[in-house]
Amino acid sequence: MFAMLDFDASPYGAYVWPAFAITALVFIGMIAGALAHARHWRARTETLRKTAEGAEAARRPPAQDLGKDIAP
48/56 Cα distance (integer angstroms) = 12
Helix (H, G, I), strand (E, B) or coil at 49: helix
Q: For residues 10-49, which are near other proteins according to CB under 8 A?
A: 10-13, 15-16, 18-20, 22-23, 26-27, 29-31, 33-35, 37-42, 44-45, 48-49
CB of 28 to other proteins, least distance (A): 11
Q: Is the peptide bond before 11 cis (omega within 30 degrees of 0)?
A: yes
* Binding region for other proteins (CB under 8 A): 4-13, 15-16, 18-20, 22-23, 26-27, 29-31, 33-35, 37-42, 44-45, 48-49, 51-52, 55
